Amino acid sequence: MSEYTASVHWSLDDGDFAGDRYTRAHEWLFDGGLTVPASASPQIVPLPLSVAENVDPEEAFVASLSSCHMLFFLSLAARRGIVVESYTDEASGRMEKNADGRMAMSRVLLRPRAVYRADSTPDPKEVERLHHRAHELCFIANSVRSKIVTEIIS
């Protein structure tokens, strides 16, 4: 079993807390010493009460799924002798009401594009198998109810 931690820190600015007019800016602090500026999404809490430049939980959710998938894909490719020179994913998530009428991230679309060393380029079927297996192994994907679709970009 593994355990992972993060600290989230927020403090009141000079806003009107009781009137729901206060900053949603906060920080995520991780055990390696990294601090990430975070905020509610401006799509949910209007500016200036949110901070567009900061990472919001919805973006982090999409990024964590993409990152987890990529890390398993790279590991699987390496074990098969496939040399990946670069990997990019323009992932996106869709927020909408679920069957219970509550807002939820209903779908995450992964759009991975890998560039391979010329002498180890896999055929498209092998790429598809690697992505399928990466999805099965991804801890984050195994932890959520959202539909996660991988649309391979070649």
The mean pLDDT of 55-63, rounded to a whole number, is 98
Question: Reduced to 3 DSSP states, what percent helix, strand and coil does the chain have, rounded to the nearest 5?
Answer: 30, 30, 45
Least Cα distance to 110 among 56, 73, 57, 55 occurs for 73
Mean pLDDT (the chain, rounded): 96
Report residue 78 as tokens.
């390496």
Q: Which pLDDT band, with edges at 50, 70 and 90, does 154 fall under? A: confident
Least Cα distance to 93 among 154, 132, 130, 140 occurs for 140
Indicate whether this model's pTM tops 0.75: yes
| SS3 (DSSP) at 129 | helix
Domains and CATH numbers, the chain: 1-55 (no CATH), 57-150 (3.30.300.20)
